[in-house]
Amino acid sequence: MTSERRAAGRDLPGSLIAAAFILIGALCWWDTTDMSDPDSYVFPRMVIVLMIAFSLLLILRNLLLGGGRHHLSTAGSWPRRVGLVAAMLLGALAMPLVGFLPSGIAVFLAIMLLAMYDPWTGFRRVVFPLVGFAIVVGFFVLFSEVLRVPLPLGSLFE
């Protein structure tokens, strides 16, 4: 998937995304049939109709005129991208179990490894994790003590 600026051909991904939006619209319309109060469904239905209409227009335009000169480059490392998202998602899901602090530290260190492009010198090996630890603990204290945000402590330890 290295879609550099394609020739002015068909904007296939654009059309597919538009089709997905049509599907989402249809699904939401089906959900509105459950609502009895017009106050609840009038506005969403109006929006759904517009969204499906615009999506159809986009597909039609792509078919007739071609389109799609505006795809951004996706150069760079895919494993690191996926890793970042996975680390954050896993961290968020783990928070209620192991607590905010351990999970936050783990996420921080994982992303640090993913974002490291310079060699791990001895200095960095020691200082970076320590600074990271300090940042996470600092924010934890700021939020939980100063701002009184009840950060999860983890159900595994209760």
Per CB under 8 A, contacts with another protein among 118-157 are: 118, 124-126, 128-129, 131-133, 135-137, 139-140, 143, 146-154, 157
Query: Could you give the string, one character per residue 88-107, with x where binding to another protein holds by CB under 8 A and - elsewhere?
Result: xx-xxx-xx--xxxx-xxxx
Told to check if 19 binds another protein by CB under 8 A, we report: no
Residue 125's alpha-carbon distances to 57, 116, 131, in angstroms, are 55, 11, 11
Told to check if 158 binds another protein by CB under 8 A, we report: yes
Told to check if 40 binds another protein by CB under 8 A, we report: yes
Told to check if 5 binds another protein by CB under 8 A, we report: no
**Distance from C-alpha of 76 to C-alpha of 126, rounded to nearest angstrom:** 28
Q: Which two tokens stand for residue 145?
A: 């003590």
Q: Which two tokens stand for residue 63?
A: 């078919």
Full DSSP string of 70-97: -PPP--S-HHHHHHHHHHHHHHHHHHHH
Answer for which of 8, 9, 17, 122 binds another protein (CB under 8 A) is 17
Told to check if 26 binds another protein by CB under 8 A, we report: no
